[in-house]
Chain A
Amino acid sequence: MNLEYLDKFRDDFSEYTELRYQKNRNLRITLLNGDVVANTRNHSSGISARVYAGGVWGFSASPETSEADVKSVIRAATRNAQFLDSRENRNAMPLAYGSAQGYHDFSTIQQRATPKEMTAFLREIDNYLKKSYPDVSARGVTMANLDMEKALLNSEGSRAYSMIPRALLIVSLTLDKGEGPVDLYDVYGGFGQYEDNFGIPEDFFERLDRLYGKLKEKAEGIYPEAGEHDVIMDADLAGILAHEAIGHTTEADIVLGGSVAGDYLDKEVASPLISLTDFAHTALGVQCPVPVFVDDEGTEAKDVPIIEQGILKSYLFNKETALHFGFAPTGNARASEYSDEPLIRMRNTAILPGKDRLEDMVASIDHGYYLAKASNGQADTTSEFMFGVVMGYEIKNGKLGKALKNTTISGIAFDMLKTVTMVSDEMSWSCAGMCGKKQAIPVGMGGPAVKCRINIGGK
């Protein structure tokens, strides 16, 4: 569906209105120990309208997109807003922030692969795993692709189209040495479609060898000693920390919901070594994993420097919270499906690199841990966080020692960030971030390695 089709309905807007067409194309193929246990596509598309009246919102969505259906959706959203407005009587100021335009189509320019070619690629990956690592007791190989296409129009004159793709290869391996199974996974790919990321299985063999090598180390690994320790959190964990423990607390709707960050604006919340930004589409001259140019309210997406040299400088805003706090909206309103309303979401959140070398950081610790890979993470309004750690090493006398079995780290992020004493000079992005705030949506998370003190679960 193109923007010209949406233009037809401009005269149907009677209040502040956003009209969005969205199509999500999901593909998932999973091989489990060689069997194709999933080979599915899911195409979900439709139209939604959101209307603002007197400080409340109405929303409606339908998969049908004929002219009559679109008009019906706009009417239903308007009716819903008016229903609430008549009961709440809030008489809020109108939302008026001007307009933004954008057209960003990141569809591959290569010839599209057929389903058969994708399955054959995964089969070759699986064959390599089976042949190369005969002691592996379970193998999982998954292709998970998402193309997110949006066309947006609003009553302020914003007009934007985007097609943002992501293609992931997820490989998981399990070893059982008689003491219970030990597993490890890695994710490859990221921004772009299948053709931009995959196609030649051999390109991945070296990385799969590294994954297997780490799994073997982990199978021989130890549990860390429970308690507070000096650690180095590598980029994977620093990215989750930036997103989960800091980013969420600075989303303006969470601030209104009682986040501790509500009391910290312009205060010192971290070591001066820490700067943290939510990038819109480009970071340090390079395109981000989830580029956003115009958000789903029709606001131009801008970088938000959340922490600058340890000082909390900004929250993330949509139009309504910007009005509440007296700031400009930052372009953080995003919706996951056509039937979802835009929420304040991070885009690409990262701690910025420092000046230290990773080797020097390891050498600076007598007894501690190097935490390399996270599984999942959770945090709350107090900034207390928990991350699963699935790969790491002990550090003894400045050198990496034995690998770690699965563990968990936790802390109060705004306290923990004050303990940071070194930040590495290189950063990297994770390619597969998903954020689950009401609606699951792709996000970018990144950072350098960070030396700090943290609480580790163990035995």
Chain B
Amino acid sequence: MSWSGLLRCTAVKKNGRTVISDCYYEGALKLTRPIYLHPSQPTIYLIHVGGGYVDGDRYKTEIMLQEGAHLIATTQSATKIYKTVNTPVQQYTSFYLDDQSVLEFFPDPVIAYEKAQFYQETTVYMKESSTFIYGDIITPGWSESGELFRYDWIRSKLKIYYEGNLMLFDHLYLEPGKGITGILQMEGYTHLGSLFVISPFITKDILQKFEWLATRFPVSAHLGWSIPMIPGLIVRVLAHETHVIETIFQMIHQFIREECFQEEPIFLRKY
């Protein structure tokens, strides 16, 4: 079956430095030349050349990290989903993380506009020694009348296969027409952020330090964190603005880089 956009690339560690090899893309998806914000860890920007996702679009991205590769990935701009009356937009993303590889993935928010229908499935195949860091933000979009939450629905699935076993499965299904703003659901907030860190470097000691970090998060956010069945950390954030979630994600991202990898922070924001 054909894709509206297809992107594949592999990150390889060569002479102590990660490089991108075997890069292939077609349709509306593109990749920038890697930028070295860090001397040995490239940052790639995933680009959608069309400006937004429309009815029936299907996208597929596959990123492979070979042994020891360290890659930072983000998008160039928000994922905008426009009116999709006939066929929901589908986006499939797969990551393959070999031994000791590290992927830090912080895409821009998903913005779903009026009557948008969006299905997103992210699948991670990782080794026990690898690290996967992923922050995802879903915003309510808006309509011409200025109303929020006018999209039809968003379904977002994240499956993490750890040494071949499904160990983490996050499934978000937001259907505003059914009422999602109240108690147990969005709790009166509009923006939803989810951050996942799966890494052998998340130890009890790191988690204790994290609790201290958490006391400095912006008070306007409503959040919780817990630990999955595998070494790692999960954070769920509700807020009224994208930048509040981004600030929290940046704090955690910086914390993980410093505490787990003794690395300087990376600033991805492009504006």
Please determine whether chains A and B interact with each other in the same assembly: no
Interface residues, chain A, CB within 8 Å of chain B?
none
